[in-house]
A and B are shown apart, each in its own frame.
Chain A
Amino acid sequence: MRDLTPDATLDIRGQVCPMTYVRTKLKLETLEQGQLLEVLLRGEEPTRNVPRSAREEGHEIVAQDAEPDGTVRLFIRKAGG
């Protein structure tokens, strides 16, 4: 596990597409530019789509780590603008 200290954490393991990115996007809106959001997600589709959507909106994917229980920890740094 990487040593990253998020400014906020969002657990969307119980959500399905498209609400996975809707929740992520709304959470990112509450952060300041450059802050780090940790997203806990599960499943192939959100693992593929959430980072892709975040990148498309200009955010930086800092890390993406899979845990033994199937949880994926995604770290997104909020873009400016």
Chain B
Amino acid sequence: MLTEAQILRYSRQILLKDVGGKGQERLLRSAVRVVGEGTAVQTAVSYLAAAGLGVELPERSVGAGEEGFLARKADVGSALSAVRTTISDLNPDALGGLDDPAVLASARAYVFDPAPAFALGFRGGLGVILWRTRAGCARCFELNRSGLSDGTADAHSVALGTLAALCVERVVLGLGEPAATGGVTLAEDGRTELLTLELCAEHR
């Protein structure tokens, strides 16, 4: 049940046809565990935190190039507690319940985990968001993730992180019946396309 403060905070999301109060409650029950670093991941984290998902950050320092939405230049090199404070200021709900989180990872940092996963990376100048739900294929996911590189601190990475937050929300809410294993690409000019996945031997 949404509190009065949550109804006010998430009113614009509640208004969306496919979200509503029930969808917002579902977002609030959902969480991501962050693996890796980089501009795309941090951008996605900031939007997901604002949307009400729980966010679990790794125990590490703020890396160079991560300043942006969540970290100031002065935070580079310091513990992620600075980012936690920023997230808490942004939305205290985001540090709440973290039962059964999905993994949100930069492509190179991802290591297999049975939890649903989202990996962000780049290939051939395209930003790529890969996802795997609980019903998805870990081999197909791995086959496509392994060819990705991590991005740099540029606008393309910010845009990729923004789109990734939307992908996470779509999968969490089951909007548009997302594939169990799937992906989208984001070109530098903003065009998005569903990714044609390389398939593992079992799914070819």
Measuring CB to CB, which residues of chain A are less than 8 angstroms from any residue of chain B?
A: 18-19, 21-22, 25-26, 29, 53, 56-57
Q: Are B17 and A29 touching (Cβ within 8 A)?
A: no
- Tell which of B6-14, B68-76, B109-117, B174-182 binds the partner: B6-14
Total number of B residues with any Cβ neighbor in A under 8 Å: 11
CA distance A53 to B16 in the complex (A): 10
Measuring CB to CB, which residues of chain B are less than 8 angstroms from any residue of chain A?
A: 2, 7-8, 11-12, 14-15, 17, 20-22
Q: Are B15 and A25 touching (Cβ within 8 A)?
A: yes
Q: Are A18 and B12 touching (Cβ within 8 A)?
A: yes
Q: Are A18 and B11 touching (Cβ within 8 A)?
A: yes
Q: Are B21 and A26 touching (Cβ within 8 A)?
A: yes
Q: Are A29 and B15 touching (Cβ within 8 A)?
A: no
Q: Are B11 and A22 touching (Cβ within 8 A)?
A: yes
Closest to B8 in A: A19
Closest to B21 in A: A26
Chain B residues, CB < 8 A from A53: 15
Chain B residues, CB < 8 A from A56: 17
